């Protein structure tokens, strides 16, 4: 038994559950790597071509170099010459990737596999593999040939890849790691773990995203190590000039993704693993959660308070206490005598109801879910055929094997009753999977793994992903093709195709607000753009200031939900007194004003594979200093945010990228490409809009689609040069956008010599719900007075506050102000 497990068992026996945290802190499991004798690839003896791949061999071991596109090349190692099944939960099954061309060139000392953009070099005498551009520049190269170690306990191999780290190279990615954005100098492991109250630098956490980006100021590349076993990454930690990744099993199989920009790498990673589908519009509104709101009267009271205080809110969550003895898919009828009626009443008032579903199914012969699972052999079994049993909320439980397609299908149907009751969304938790006392399943638990079979060592990291996949598929069918809303705690690469994510059980401290800021930027760069933290902190008690500053950050978190543990004080936006309530209300209202902008950046994510949150390094990688900036981020393309993450802070230094910027809460103008000291009064935060942008705005509503919108407000910001903006609109509910039932407006703003012109192109088949635009202008030169729209002169109007705007037909083609 590994040391860590022994310590855990001992600690739980003697000291109780809480002691586990300390152990995880002190014993970073990545340091417990066994000393082992390794086998290395020797020299290339021959090669063969197989479709889009070349297979090289040293006589016994084989290496496949497969070309997916001009910029994506996959490398696989078969130590004994036989490759494992080519199967992945992460990579899309409907990949449409093709290289424009590729060829193999043999040199005296190497083979060159060339595409239109990338060269992969395989050195003959030592099997070193390197990647570069087509002009001969090397971007990433092996420091040692790929190597492996036989695993006597389990069969198979521990597999290793060691690459050179350049002296100025920074590293990004890996999902939810609670550390600085640049990963250089650190080691990580991936083993999905229930980490209640995790700390800064604690590792591993809930998710496994074995994808990283290496970047110098001029070149970025990505490595996606698609291996579901426990994996490890060392970013120049042990040796300053080396980066390694390795796994405790499975195949050494990685995708090299060429840049040169980080943005290119992320988009191409999305080509492989998919993007998030368009969420229903309500899912990006404000959500209120609590462990737990019950009984029914309490839920109704919270909902009423929102409406009474005119604080917008779209969803209310029911945590585990809505169930009967924590049995999934049941209701506690004492607390919720008529759930259908309650949910309908909430819906009539604009609230969607989201419920929690965990994987642990109570061992109870009288419980239909247990009966069905047992009858059909849907529950996981140990190596010697006993059921995998463990304690979670309901007591003794068995656990569905979601890696079995039949089980996924079944699980999806179980939501029928909840959907009939009117439940709108589902929250999957504890799916690392978490088991009280022992952490997770033992290694010998067997899994179907979609017919390939494997032990828990192989299936652990995809368990949660496959659970939420079946939830997503089930809801999609049951909700008649409406876009499902799901949220999951555990994830593997590619989970974005099925769900949003949150960062788990954080703490109500200023440090955790900062950790959340880092985690969400990192998740967004790692494919999981639809992400959020428990606003206010799950455990512990925030004061009004921390809660409010976190709410401000929440407005710019793709998923915006307040959540807290059961033993904490109230956490509704009004819980900290009128002063804080007013600020929270102002900021939740801001979320609703920005909804069309936020919806558009979700669209850009879905369709154009752009991450929603963009660290400064991603926006301007050509400035080395930017590779270390981590407090401000792009929220989409046109808004830059720098949340206040310290108590009592009255000002903050903010770096603004090149271009011109407008402070959102006043018309103050700032030059980009430099740092500025920005005042941070409690009721404001550093939010900037890029000059040249068109930012759509909705009127404040108490929930999405509360009212029809007659005129869409567009805020247009003067900025020298030519700029593109997009506004995406659809009916917010079904997948009709896949058949082009949407409206994508492309605005091209040109500003020169005090003249501003806006051109518009419209694409898609959707007819929006408003007739006109109201155009507001910011930063217009004082001289600009006359307005021409499609050749006609148009006059200024004035709104209730006396602010001038121009009212125009929504189909206008060209507007000029001079
Ligand atoms: C876990 C979840 C938390 C939830 C609790 C009870 O700790 O992370 O969000 O409230 O379980 O279900």
Mean pLDDT of 419-438: 98
- pLDDT confidence of residue 84: 95
Model confidence at 7: pLDDT above 90: no
Least confident of 85-89, 539-543, 667-671: 667-671
pLDDT value at position 218? Answer: 87
| Tokens at 55, concatenated | 């297979």
Percentage of the chain lying above the pLDDT 70 cut:
95
pLDDT given for residue 12 in this prediction: 46
- Compute, in angstroms, the gap from residue 338 CA to the centroid of ligand 1: 24
Q: Which residues line ligand 1 (CB under 6 A)?
A: 291, 319-320, 356, 429, 489, 504-505, 563
pLDDT, tens digit, 9 for 90 and up, residues 15-30: 345 444 433 433 344 4
pLDDT for residue 423 is more than 60? yes
Q: 35 burial class (0-12, 13-18, 19+ CB within 10 angstroms)?
A: exposed
Is 570 a residue of the active site? no
pLDDT, tens digit, for every residue of 255-298?
Answer: 999 999 999 999 999 999 999 999 999 999 999 999 999 999 99
Is 429 catalytic? The answer is: yes
Whole-model pTM: value is 0.95
Measured over the CA atoms of residue 96, residue 97, residue 101 and residue 103, the dihedral's sign is negative
- Average pLDDT of the residues in 335-347: 98
Query: Nearest C-alpha to atom 10 of ligand 1 is from which residue?
Result: 291
User: Which residue ranges form the domains of the chain, and what is each CATH number?
Assistant: 35-273 (2.60.40.1760), 283-358+414-433+451-608 (3.20.20.80), 613-684 (2.60.40.1180), 708-817 (2.60.40.1180)
For 700-716, b/e burial (b = at least 16 CB within 10 A) is bbbbbbeeebebbbbbb
Q: Specify the pLDDT at position 6.
A: 40
How far, in Å, from the CA of 35 to the mean position of ligand 1? 38
Give the position, in ligand 1's atom list, of the atom nearest the Cα of 319. 12
pLDDT digits (tens, 9 = 90+) for 746-761: 999 999 998 999 999 9
Instruction: Indicate the top mutation candidate among 430, 464, 559, 568 to test ligand 1's pocket, ranked by most ligand atoms within 8 A of CB.
Output: 430
pLDDT digits (tens, 9 = 90+) for 239-256: 999 999 999 999 999 999
801 secondary structure, DSSP code: T
From ligand 1's centre to the CA of 563, what distance in Å? 9
Active site residue: 432, 631, 637, 697, which one? 432
Q: How far is the CA of 4 from the centre of ligand 1 (A)?
A: 24
CA dist 777 and 793 (Å) reads 17
**HEC per residue, 168-230:** CCEEEECCCCCCCCCCCCEEEEECCCCCCCCCCCCCCCCEECCEEEEECCCCEEEEEECCCCC
* pLDDT tens digits, one per residue of 22-61: 334 333 444 455 555 789 999 999 999 999 999 999 999 9
Q: What is the pLDDT of residues 105-163, one digit of tens each?
A: 999 999 999 999 999 999 999 999 999 999 999 999 999 999 999 987 888 999 999 99
* Residues 6 or more apart whose Cβ sits within 8 Å of residue 368: none
The reported pLDDT for the residue numbered 1 is 34
- Is the pLDDT at 646 greater than 60? The verdict is yes
């Amino acid at each position: 038994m590994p040391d860590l497990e022994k310590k855990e068992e001992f600690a739980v026996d003697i000291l109780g559950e809480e002691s586990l945290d300390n152990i995880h802190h002190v014993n970073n499991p990545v340091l417990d790597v066994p000393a082992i004798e390794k086998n290395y690839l020797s020299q290339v003896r021959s090669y063969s071509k197989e479709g889009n791949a070349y297979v090289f061999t040293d006589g016994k071991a084989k290496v496949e170099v497969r070309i997916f596109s001009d910029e994506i090349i996959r490398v696989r190692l078969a130590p004994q010459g036989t490759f494992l099944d080519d199967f992945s939960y992460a990579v899309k099954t409907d990949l449409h990737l093709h290289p424009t061309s590729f060829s193999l060139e043999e040199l005296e000392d190497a083979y060159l596999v060339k595409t239109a953009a990338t060269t992969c070099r395989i050195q003959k005498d030592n099997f070193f593999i390197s990647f570069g551009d087509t002009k001969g520049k090397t971007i990433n190269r092996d420091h040692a040939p790929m190597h492996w170690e036989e695993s006597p306990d389990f069969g198979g191999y521990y597999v290793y890849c060691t690459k050179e780290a350049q002296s100025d190279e920074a590293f990004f990615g890996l999902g939810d790691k609670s550390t600085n954005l640049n990963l250089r100098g650190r080691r990580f492991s991936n083993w999905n773990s229930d980490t209640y109250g995790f700390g800064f630098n604690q590792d591993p956490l809930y998710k496994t995203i074995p994808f990283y980006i290496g970047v110098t100021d001029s070149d970025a590349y990505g490595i996606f190590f698609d291996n579901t076993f426990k994996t490890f990454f060392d970013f120049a930690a042990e040796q300053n000039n080396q980066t390694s990744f390795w796994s405790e099993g499975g195949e050494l199989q990685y995708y090299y993704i060429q840049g040169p920009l980080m943005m290119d790498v992320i988009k191409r990673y999305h080509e492989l693993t998919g993007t998030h589908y368009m969420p229903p519009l309500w899912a990006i509104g404000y959500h209120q959660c609590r462990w737990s709101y019950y009984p029914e009267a309490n839920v109704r009271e919270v909902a009423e308070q929102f409406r009474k205080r005119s604080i917008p809110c779209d969803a209310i969550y029911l945590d585990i206490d809505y169930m009967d003895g924590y049995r999934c898919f049941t209701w506690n009828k004492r607390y919720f005598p008529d759930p259908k009626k309650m949910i309908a009443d909430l819906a009539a008032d604009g609230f969607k109801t989201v419920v929690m579903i965990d994987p642990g199914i109570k061992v109870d012969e009288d419980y239909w879910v247990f009966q069905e699972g047992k009858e059909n052999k849907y529950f996981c079994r140990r190596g010697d055929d006993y059921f995998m049993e463990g304690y979670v909320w309901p007591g003794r439980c068995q656990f569905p094997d979601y890696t079995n397609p039949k089980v996924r299908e079944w699980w999806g149907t179980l939501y029928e009753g909840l959907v009939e009751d009117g439940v709108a969304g589902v929250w999957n938790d504890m799916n690392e999977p978490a088991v009280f006392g022992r952490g997770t399943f033992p290694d010998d638990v067997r899994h179907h793994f979609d017919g390939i079979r494997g032990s828990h060592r192989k299936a652990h990291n995809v368990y949660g992903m496959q659970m939420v996949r079946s939830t997503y598929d089930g809801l999609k069918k049951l909700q008649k093709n409406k876009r499902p809303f799901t949220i999951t705690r555990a994830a593997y690469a590619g989970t974005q195709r099925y769900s949003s994510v949150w960062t788990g059980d954080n703490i109500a401290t200023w440090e955790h607000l900062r950790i959340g800021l880092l985690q969400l930027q990192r998740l967004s760069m790692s494919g999981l753009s639809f992400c959020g933290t428990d606003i206010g902190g799950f455990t512990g008690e925030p004061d009004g200031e921390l809660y409010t500053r976190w709410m401000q950050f929440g407005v710019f978190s793709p998923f915006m939900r307040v959540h807290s543990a059961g033993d904490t004080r109230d956490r509704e936006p009004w819980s900290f007194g009128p002063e804080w309530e007013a600020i929270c209300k102002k900021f939740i209202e801001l979320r609703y004003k920005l909804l069309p902008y936020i919806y558009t950046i979700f669209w850009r994510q879905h369709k154009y594979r752009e991450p929603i949150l963009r660290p400064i390094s991603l926006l301007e990688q050509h400035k080395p200093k930017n590779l270390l900036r981590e407090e401000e981020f792009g929220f989409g393309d046109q808004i830059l945010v720098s949340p206040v993450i310290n108590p009592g802070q009255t000002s903050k230094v903010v770096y603004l990228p090149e271009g011109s910027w407008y402070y959102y809460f006043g018309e103050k103008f700032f030059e980009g490409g430099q740092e500025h000291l920005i005042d941070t009064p409690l009721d404001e935060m550093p939010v900037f809009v890029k000059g040249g942008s068109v930012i759509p705005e909705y009127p404040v509503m108490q929930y999405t689609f509360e009212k029809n919108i007659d005129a869409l407000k567009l805020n247009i910001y003067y900025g020298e040069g030519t700029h593109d903006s997009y506004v995406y609109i659809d009916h917010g509910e079904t997948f009709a956008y896949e058949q082009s039932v949407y409206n994508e407006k492309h605005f091209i703003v040109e500003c020169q010599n005090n003249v501003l012109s806006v051109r518009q192109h419209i694409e898609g088949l959707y007819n929006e719900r408003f007739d006109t635009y109201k155009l507001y202008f910011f930063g217009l030169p004082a001289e600009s007075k006359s307005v021409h729209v499609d050749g006609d002169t148009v006059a200024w109007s004035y709104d209730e506050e006396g602010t001038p705007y121009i009212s125009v037909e929504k189909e206008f083609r060209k507007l000029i102000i001079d």
